[in-house]
Amino acid sequence: MYACFLHRRHALRCVTWSRWRSSLSANTKRVTDDCGGTKSVRIGCASGFWGDTTTSVPQLIHGGRLDFLVFDYLSEITMSLLTAAKAKMPNLGYAPDFVQAAMAPFIHDIHRKGVRVVSNAGGVNPLACAAAIQEVIKKAGLDLKVAVVTGDDLMPHRNIFGEVKLAADSSKNVLPQTLHSMNAYLGALPIRRCLDLGADVVVTGRCVDSALALGPLMHSFGWGKCDLDLLAAGSLAGHLIECGAQSTGGIFTDWHHVPDWDNIGFPVVECSADGSFILSKPPKTGGLVSFGTAAEQLVYELGDPQRYMLPDVVCDFSHVHIQEVSGVEGGAVRVSGAKGSAPSGDYKVCATYMDGFRATAVCPLAGPRASEKARRTGDSVIKRTRRMFKHLGMDDFTSINIQVLGAEDTYGANACNKDAREAVLWMAVHHKNKKALEVFSREVAPAGTGMAPGLCGIVGGRPRVSPVLKPLFFFHPKCQVKVDIHLDGQLMESFLETGPEAGELEAPPTWTEDTPPTELPAGSHCYRLEELAFARSGDKGDSANIGVIARHGLIFPYLKKHLTSFVVEEYLAHVFPPGLSGAVTRYTLPGINALNFVLKNSLGGGGVASLRSDPQGKAFAQMLLDLKLSGLPDFKSLLC
């Protein structure tokens, strides 16, 4: 029904991929060298999230020798915040930093250098974002074409959604009554089309992060939807740069070897038509590009490395190779080996819905037995508030999280220092009734005069009560999502993307806990995991992943043998709900000698729905690096 409705309403302006393909020679702006052959394309990423530093923009414009500059602003949390902002003011809902701090001060430089810009800064209001950019261009007296991709917002059609197929387990469910937003993750095809039409600036709403780089590559090299290995390679290039400085030394395991954080360089990929590319950063900037920094970013927020599902292609990153390039200031790596197969006929959709309210109190304490004082203070505030709830006829808290930071509560049973002379009390609570949390908020400050000595205050003042927007992920057919292309304020064309065609390459079968080598020389040595491997963790909704990369190829078989999913689940047991079995799944990436662990339901709801001090699992890898592995040979010669 939905597809028919879309066809009737928009048939006149709809174009299909086959028509794009037939007109490719006329519309695609190829990047060529003086001999007429396709040369490399350079893409820099100036933002990994909404709030990233804008010092990245001038370094990339003036030192990156770029063809394209991309900005990635969106995450599930960001989408929730932008949705709330638009609900208050209809002309908001996009990332204002993109307009005011990233584009306006440098618009003349961008124009003079001939750099084309692609960004998902449009959030939930891309047309308003584009209008603001056009105003910047007008004030600068320039003539730049601004294109907009819309169609990811499915809220206008929410009434025709019945049961949806959940992404977590493919079960069917109805959407919540308190639905607040609903956005499909679009791919690179609309971005490519905007560039084909001559856009200098492309603004999108929700799309997969890697599409910001893949779209320009498809446009530049003429890659089509059947060039699956090339699409996978372009997606990998986008994946490595999408988080900005994370691939150039940011949050690296060996952070102490990364220089000049204050001037950290942002990533640049130089891509060739065959899909190979070199990752580097602008000269005279801080940071580091190495095998370790690139490999950590490869495994970041990764699930099954053989089935990294994107709208344009299903990627197999399991046999990707990363090789350091010598003689490059600040380091560089050559990346190759990505494989692709046909994508699904569905888009992944992120919906948010109202799920009660939350409040968080953060209180530093000092003095002898600070951790014990903090814990007793938190328990007492909760006990008093519950007594008041009963008197007022209110229900109990829906959930509570009390942590004492400084007592290593985030380590669970693995904590070593359970007491300290300085500690921070973290109290986060959830309730269906806003009035109940206002009672809690008023009862935190009295702890400063009626409970433990040494409570220094409440960070940020009285806890603020805020609504909880909980994410829900499901799949929806591509053929029922109309995507619109706008150029300079005019609707140019619309299309409905189709699913995979018959005969296209299917994704390979996956493997998880493969059998480790049985005949490995044992030893008497014990190592912390950090001595043997790099590691990085990331989040996907309520699940997290930890990628572990061996520091040397000869260490990898021992990691496969000793670092099993059972070992990881046991070490991090405190992050999972009680009674959850099979919480950890392990995958292998032999191309970079890595293991990837997916931790199901490990984030307490994830994002803004979580009450934890680490709602995105940012510290999970750091905790795992403290794990000790015994019975190993002497690896000192390999680790020098």
Inside any domain, residue 592: yes
Among 423, 439, 470, where does a domain finish? Answer: 470
| Total number of domains constituting the chain | 3
Q: How far apart are CA 384 and CA 167, in angstroms?
A: 41
- Are 325 and 388 part of one and the same domain? no
Query: Locate tokens 């499901």: which residue?
Result: 474
Q: Looking at residues 467-473, what average pLDDT do you find?
A: 89
Inside any domain, residue 168: no
Q: How far apart are CA 318 and CA 308, in angstroms?
A: 10
pLDDT digits (tens, 9 = 90+) for 349-362: 999 899 999 999 99
Parallel, antiparallel or unpaired: strands 422-431 and 399-405: antiparallel
Task: State the Cα torsion 134-140-144-149 to the nearest 10°.
Answer: -20
- Are 333 and 364 part of one and the same domain? no
Q: How far apart are CA 559 and CA 529, in angstroms?
A: 9
Classify burial at 534, counting beta carbons within 10 Å of its beta carbon; exposed 0-12, middle 13-18, buried 19 or more: buried
Which distant-in-sequence residues (6+ apart) come within 8 Å of 571 by Cβ?
Answer: 414, 623, 624, 627
- Are 283 and 389 part of one and the same domain? no
CATH value at residue 367: 3.30.70.100
Parallel, antiparallel or unpaired: strands 543-550 and 533-540: antiparallel
Question: Range with the lowest mean pLDDT among 169-183, 201-215, 243-257, 387-401?
Answer: 169-183
SS3 assignment for 527-571:
EEHHHHEEEEEEEECCEEEEEEEECCCCCHHHHHHHCCHHHHHHH
Q: How far apart are CA 552 and CA 531, in angstroms?
A: 11
Q: Looking at residues 58-86, what average pLDDT do you find?
A: 91
Of the candidates 220, 139, 237, 190, the one whose C-alpha atom is nearest the C-alpha of residue 347 is 190
Inside any domain, residue 405: yes
Encoded tokens for 522 = 């044992």
Residue 51, pLDDT above cutoff 80:
yes
pLDDT digits (tens, 9 = 90+) for 87-107: 888 899 999 999 999 999 999
- Are 302 and 402 part of one and the same domain? no
- Are 291 and 362 part of one and the same domain? no
- Are 429 and 319 part of one and the same domain? no
Q: Could you give phi then psi for residue 357, rounded to 5 degrees?
A: -135, 160
Inside any domain, residue 289: yes
Inside any domain, residue 203: yes
Inside any domain, residue 254: yes
Among 433, 452, 470, where does a domain finish? Answer: 470
- Are 300 and 419 part of one and the same domain? no
- Are 332 and 360 part of one and the same domain? no
Q: What angle do CA 147, 151, 156 make, to 5 degrees?
A: 135
- Highest mean pLDDT: which range of 88-97, 240-249, 471-480: 240-249
- Are 241 and 106 part of one and the same domain? yes
Q: How far apart are CA 157 and CA 4, in angstroms?
A: 13
- Are 228 and 335 part of one and the same domain? yes
Residue 2, pLDDT above cutoff 80:
no
pLDDT digits (tens, 9 = 90+) for 574-588: 999 998 989 999 999
Residue 21, pLDDT above cutoff 50:
no
Q: How far apart are CA 180 and CA 154, in angstroms?
A: 11
pLDDT the model gives residue 639: 86
- Are 457 and 412 part of one and the same domain? yes
pTM confidence score? 0.92
The residues facing 639 across adjacent strands are none
- Are 46 and 131 part of one and the same domain? yes
For residue 129, the enclosing domain spans 2-10+18-151+186-343
Query: Locate tokens 């304020």: which residue?
Result: 489
Among 343, 369, 388, where does a domain finish? Answer: 343
Sheet containing 543-550, strands listed edge to edge, beginning at the edge strand earlier in sequence: 533-540, 543-550, 594-599, 584-589
The average confidence (pLDDT) of the chain is 91
461: DSSP letter? S
CB 1 within 8 A of CB 37: no
Inside any domain, residue 166: no
pLDDT the model gives residue 352: 87
pLDDT the model gives residue 521: 87
pLDDT the model gives residue 3: 38
Inside any domain, residue 333: yes
Q: How far apart are CA 242 and CA 429, in angstroms?
A: 33
Q: Looking at residues 363-391, what average pLDDT do you find?
A: 97
SS3 349: strand
Query: Locate tokens 């190592």: which residue?
Result: 527
269: number of Cβ within 10 Å: 25
Q: How far apart are CA 623 and CA 572, in angstroms?
A: 8
Query: Locate tokens 């209809």: which residue?
Result: 90
pLDDT the model gives residue 579: 87
